[in-house]
Amino acid sequence: MKILCIIPSRIHSTRLPRKPLLPIQGKPMVQWTYENAKRCAALADVIVATDSMEVAEIITKIGGKAELTDPALPTGSERVAAVAERYPDTDVVINLQGDEPFIQPRMLEQLISPYLSGEMPDMTTLAYPLEKDKYHEPGSVKVITDLHHNAIYFSRSPIPYYRTDHHAPVYNHMGVYAFRRDFLMQYRTLPQTPLEKTESLEQLRVLEHGYKIRVCLTEDKTLEINTPEEYALAQHFEYKHQ
């Protein structure tokens, strides 16, 4: 089983300009993400996919691998697919966003656990139990699953609606994915879908076209960096090597 981790890292960000290059506790954000992914022993290799020479140079200077991709590619998954296309002997491809500097190797192992156990789902993703105060926050993407841990729906809205006192589990989705390589090549050809556009959630495209996403659970949480407030928190985030 050959598993390749690709980190899409785009230089332009509306809320945080030049986000991958921003320093966190002394080193650039993208370097944090790359180095933590490299600590996962289950991965055959880690590559940063970027449209920026500046980002590529940060990675190559520390002995890492970076490949340039077309700046016109609209999503991180398409950037990942463009690099994965050059590695036909790969079985599974991880899409780890460059703004996940505090990812734990153990979390990547949980993400790929179905593949390591002999299953070959189209796609997997990570989620952890949703905190009650995040239920109504559009920035916290909720996911509900079927009894086999396949995603039923992802939403920025509070789901499910609790009409009764019965408890139904809802999880906080993390934007990290693993694809069976052949499905990743197929995925990038799928046209965008109405719910994907409405919620601005790329993963809904998979569900709307009738494919499944296995939701792998983790108890760990990271600090994804999307806003100036989250970037400020990152300067004091206590990262534990696990």
pLDDT in tens, 153-204: 999 999 999 999 888 999 999 999 999 999 999 999 999 999 999 999 999 9
Q: Is the pLDDT of residue 14 over 80?
A: no
The Cα–Cα gap between 122 and 97 comes to 19
Structural domain contains residue 242:
no
Closest CA to 216 of 177, 169, 190, 158: 177
Does residue 238 sit within a domain? Answer: no
State the pLDDT at residue 242: 56
Examine residue 131 and state whether it is found in any structural domain, yes or no: yes
Q: Is 239's pLDDT higher than 80? A: no
Q: What residues contact residue 179 under an 8 Å CB cut-off, 6+ apart?
A: 92, 93, 94, 95, 122, 123, 187
pLDDT tens digits for range 121-138: 999 999 999 998 999 999
pLDDT digits over 33-84, tens only? 999 999 999 999 999 999 999 999 999 999 999 999 998 887 888 899 999 9
Global confidence as pTM = 0.93
| pLDDT score at 234 | 87
pLDDT interval class at 11 (50, 70, 90) = confident
How many domains are there within the chain?
Answer: 1
What is the pLDDT at residue 233? Answer: 85
More confident residue, 47 or 12: 47
pLDDT at 184 (0 to 100): 97
Residue 115 lies in a domain: yes
Q: The domain spanning residue 77 has which CATH number?
A: 3.90.550.10
Q: How many CA atoms lie within 13 A of 199 on its CB side?
A: 21
Instruction: Establish if 55 belongs to a structural domain.
Output: yes
Distance CA 216, CA 232 (A): 29
Tell me, yes or no, whether 231 lies in a domain: no
| Rounded Cα distance, 198 and 171, in Å | 20
Q: What is the pLDDT at residue 172?
A: 95
What domain range includes position 217?
Answer: 3-223
Per-residue pLDDT for 18 more than 70?
Answer: yes
- What pLDDT, on the 0 to 100 scale, is given for residue 12? 78
In a domain, 240, yes or no: no
